[in-house]
Structure 1
Amino acid sequence: MGTVTTDDGTTIFYKDWGPRDGEPIVFHHGWPLSADDWDNQMLFFLSHGYRVIAHDRRGHGRSTQTSEGHDMDTYAADVAALTDALDLRDAVHIGHSTGGGEVARYVARAKPGRVSKAVLAGAVPPIMVKSESNPGGTPIEVFDGFREGLAANRAQLYIDVPSGPFYGFNRPGAEVSQGLIDNWWRQGMMGAANAHYECIKAFSETDFTEDLKKIDVPVLVMHGSDDQIVPYEDSAPLSAKLLKNATLKTYEGYPHGMLTTHPDVLNPDILEFIRS
């Protein structure tokens, strides 16, 4: 197991598999999960000769359960500490959901030579919450509901989310996997309740518009049309328009957790993008 210590003393856990001289791919997980959510992708890209790295965000998984720093600026700074410690060059950064916001914030600020490409999958940018400037966004009451559910009975919330909208298991005819639901719950309960509570504000209210405008490396924007967590119309197409060099791929009928439910489709698409 690897760890890196940030300037404020936080220990960030990470996995680092594959050849040291292999092209590095860094994976950024969603809320309230951990690096384990990327096991399928890590094994896939490892088998193709890549060096694969995934970390647990502070307050999540096996990283320090801090009382502070649950915001996108700090998340990005933690990633910078990790990439500096491993001296990663020309890395591909792949982020899902909240991790997509983390990727946008980090890549926009990364040191020259650190990043070659990025992938935003079911990602939260440009901004989720509804406002006068973002009329198509999700009402703040939805996120308040997540906070209320977390504070009242986090264990039950972490069953309800993957059982329903996250993987689309609430859709008629869906093939439900109890293993995926249990693994989502396991990952969530490993983390800290305070970090998960505060992260809801970070992923829903952070505006990534200026970050996206600054990014000049190629970016693959992937999103399912039936994403019930990060609605398609207010995310992927808007991000693609703000990016200088974007490729938008829409997956008809796919849910928010499509990387887990449809890796046989998405993994090869990501591989093709990396190789292109």
Structure 2
Amino acid sequence: MGYYVTVEPGVKLYVEDINPEGSRTIVFLHGWPLSHQQFEYQFNVLPHKGYRCIGIDWRGFGKSDKPSSGYSFDRLSDDIRTVVDALGLEQFTLAGHSTGGAIAVRYMSRHHGYGVSNLVLIDAAAPIGFTAETAARFLTQALNDRPKMMREVTDNFFFQYITSPFSEWFFQLGLQAAGWSTAAIIITLRDEELDADLPKIRVPTLIVHGVHDKVIPFAQAYELNEQIKHSKLVPFHYSGHGLFWEEHDKFNKVLRKFIGSTGK
């Protein structure tokens, strides 16, 4: 089911809650500039295996409200904490892709990993996000020709072949966002770093990353693995930045093994 959670006056986040009766809970944080819908190929499978899957659209993206401000990692992680409190979540797995991974890292640091039993970082934009050069290109496009920017994002996202219909679906996910929030996150990815957050992560952490990732280099996965205690790195050899789709069968199996069985 889908519903909204108010995170501050005038700002509501959309939450997709699938199989609320599941015995283990996974909270998914999407990447920029997408929405919770990017995890369709997890939501198709994991609830039937007994998992409760919660997808949250950050402010400015997907079906959530789109305020003009509030796009720092601090504010975005505070929004997640508000949703966690509103839903009364405990002992859940927090799984973040790309910028969602960066938000998850900040959540673990800023909120002391409140309620989180396991962390999953998927092609995470950490400890750094965009270089100044990449950010400048995306920012110019976002403010002048956002569809062109999203087409470039789509073209560079995947290592494996994607069909034209899939490409169009993915392209449209990115255009659900507001232009101003799309641009604001580019600036956040350019200016904020997460090195100081990493040593504060205390829970078992699974790091998965596509070897052929053109968005966030695979080398950053090694850095995360070195800096996060109790972490395990699993390379995805046939994926770019989209392993949640490119090798979704493998990802779902690795995720289930890491979290633990529900008995189904």
Any idea what the Cα deviations from partners look like across 1:131-153, whole Å, max 9, x if unmatched? xxxxxxx4x11110011111121
1:145 aligns with 2:146: no
Task: Output aligned runs, 1:28-67, within 5 Å.
Answer: 28-67=29-68
The whole-number CA distance in structure 2 between the counterparts of 1:158 and 1:244 is 35
Aligned partner of 1:222 in structure 2 is 208
The whole-number CA distance in structure 2 between the counterparts of 1:55 and 1:16 is 9
Give how far 1:93 is off.
0.5
Aligned partner of 1:176 in structure 2 is 162
The whole-number CA distance in structure 1 between the counterparts of 2:67 and 2:208 is 32
Q: Identity of aligned pairs, percent? A: 30
The whole-number CA distance in structure 2 between the counterparts of 1:89 and 1:264 is 27
The whole-number CA distance in structure 2 between the counterparts of 1:23 and 1:52 is 9
> Structure 2 residue aligned with 1:237, among 199, 203, 222?
222
Any idea what the Cα deviations from partners look like across 1:199-220, whole Å, max 9, x if unmatched? 0122233211122110100000
- Runs of 5+ consecutive residues of structure 1 not aligned to the other structure: 130-137, 169-173
Give how far 1:184 is off.
1.7
The whole-number CA distance in structure 1 between the counterparts of 2:47 and 2:120 is 17
Aligned partner of 2:232 in structure 1 is 247
Any idea what the Cα deviations from partners look like across 1:99-154, whole Å, max 9, x if unmatched? 0001111122336660100100100111135xxxxxxxx4x111100111111211
Give how far 1:253 is off.
4.2
Question: Match of 1:144, SS?
Answer: helix
Question: Match of 1:93, SS?
Answer: strand
1:93 aligns with 2:94: yes
The whole-number CA distance in structure 1 between the counterparts of 2:22 and 2:51 is 9
The whole-number CA distance in structure 2 between the counterparts of 1:107 and 1:113 is 7
Contact 1:19–1:49 under 8 Å retained in 2: no
Contact 1:92–1:115 under 8 Å retained in 2: yes
**AA of the residue aligned to 1:183:** W
Any idea what the Cα deviations from partners look like across 1:14-33, whole Å, max 9, x if unmatched? 10111335211000000000
The whole-number CA distance in structure 1 between the counterparts of 2:241 and 2:175 is 20
TM-score, structure 2 normalization: 0.94
Task: Output aligned runs, 1:1-276, within 5 Å.
Answer: 1-20=2-21, 22-110=23-111, 114-129=115-130, 138=131, 140-162=132-154, 164-168=155-159, 174-233=160-219, 235-275=220-260
Contact 1:159–1:182 under 8 Å retained in 2: no
Question: Match of 1:158, SS?
Answer: helix
- Runs of 5+ consecutive residues of structure 2 not aligned to the other structure: none
Cα 1:61–1:165 shift into 2, 3 Å: same
Contact 1:158–1:184 under 8 Å retained in 2: no
